[in-house]
Structure 1
């Protein structure tokens, strides 16, 4: 079905944007590569993805840009010294940056969830932008999901900082990644649930759901 095909294709693009640098980083770590080299490789992977999209599709993939910024910040932090806890802070810096990008986007023309939808709904970017400007329910949904992700990422960042100094480093190494995965999974589930509820009041939002069918009206 066309709706399912578009959704699958969009999710695949988003998975590459986010997953490529993460897989690069954790795979190299699993083979014993140093944190600095793994971070540099992840930043290169995110940068390569960003460059490919810019050249092939003539547009910026915002999630790829954010991942590049996150791992770039991690690389810079590794030069601050050999303190393992300081290096662990890179995760908090990264999620704080992501959260800040989400919240600051609320001051611009497009909230970040609308901008990111261009990656997983590229064929409907103009239509979604038009709906955002004309349908209050659509505008509220994009702004609320952007706000939720921004606050969630900042909350995750703030929670990690005291844990880094309260728990042993060897415990925090695994817990830091688990915390990030848990928060992102929770935010994703909340976003889907929120869109499902909102689509009952605003039918135009159904196109954003995994089972969405038909054209945007």
Structure 2
């Protein structure tokens, strides 16, 4: 096996790790900060402030490391920042739970809109974890129709999944008691994000296994 073939076999694993780690950091870190504090009894304002801070730290870190702004991390700052602003509007506990749906639903819409515009967020997530390969990823996305279709498909699935999560929470907010719904809301977010990340990794490996067979 020559060096080029060896590199070709290693690249799928590198791409998988880059994409999954990018999504986990860009989405997972702010959500973890929010729900850990929320379940620990912190105020909604404090939890949202921590999530916004985590997203901002991620944005600054990727800007420092890659010398460019991370659109995905910037979107998370905006989404949680808007949630922070909304938390001042009312103290209604059901509204605060619905705000969680606004956060994930807004993120889901962003996935779909940006995919429709030809700029899938999954590409940004992969590039931020492997900035040294960002240029290569961009070229592959624009020159390889298969790679482009795959990123658009993954972004569409993430968008649909997050909108479904937001819609489910919005319905459950009015069906379950508030104290029960607080825990259900956190579990719903963690489950959906974990499932989307796991499915993304599985689909990428399946696609590349089919290409190599």
Q: What's the TM-score once normalised by structure 2's chain length?
A: 0.82
Following the alignment from structure 1 to structure 2, what is the Cα–Cα distance between the partners of residues 12 and 132? 19
**Other-structure match for 2:179:** 170
Displacement of 1:184 after TM fit?
A: 1.3
Range with greater deviation from structure 2 (14-23 or 59-68): 14-23
Tell me the alpha carbon deviations over residues 145-183 of structure 1, each in whole angstroms, 9 at most, x when there is no partner. Answer: 111111111111111101001100011101011111111
Q: Is the 8 A contact 1:137 1:198 kept in 2?
A: no
Range with greater deviation from structure 2 (46-55 or 78-87): 46-55
Structure 2 residue 194 is matched with structure 1 residue 189 = no
Structure 2 residue 169 is matched with structure 1 residue 160 = yes
Following the alignment from structure 1 to structure 2, what is the Cα–Cα distance between the partners of residues 114 and 89? 29
Q: Is the 8 A contact 2:29 2:54 kept in 1?
A: yes
Alpha carbons of structure 1 residues 19 and 150: separation in structure 2 relative to 1, 3 Å: closer
Q: Is the 8 A contact 2:34 2:47 kept in 1?
A: yes
Three-state SS of the structure 2 residue aligned to 1:132 is: helix
Please show how residues 1-217 of structure 1 align to structure 2 within 5 Å.
14-29=23-38, 31-202=40-211
Flag structure 2 segments of 5+ consecutive residues without an equivalent: 1-6
Runs of 4+ displaced beyond 3 Å: 1-20, 26-32, 200-203
Range with greater deviation from structure 2 (9-18 or 157-166): 9-18
Query: Pairwise CA RMSD of aligned residues?
Result: 2.6
**Other-structure match for 1:213:** none
Tell me the alpha carbon deviations over residues 37-63 of structure 1, each in whole angstroms, 9 at most, x when there is no partner. Answer: 221232123223313332443212233
Following the alignment from structure 2 to structure 1, what is the Cα–Cα distance between the partners of residues 18 and 116? 30
Instruction: Considering Cα pairs closer than 8 Å and 6+ residues apart, tell me whether 1 or 2 has the greater RCO.
Output: 2
Following the alignment from structure 1 to structure 2, what is the Cα–Cα distance between the partners of residues 45 and 177? 17
Following the alignment from structure 1 to structure 2, what is the Cα–Cα distance between the partners of residues 175 and 196? 31
Flag structure 1 segments of 5+ consecutive residues without an equivalent: 204-217
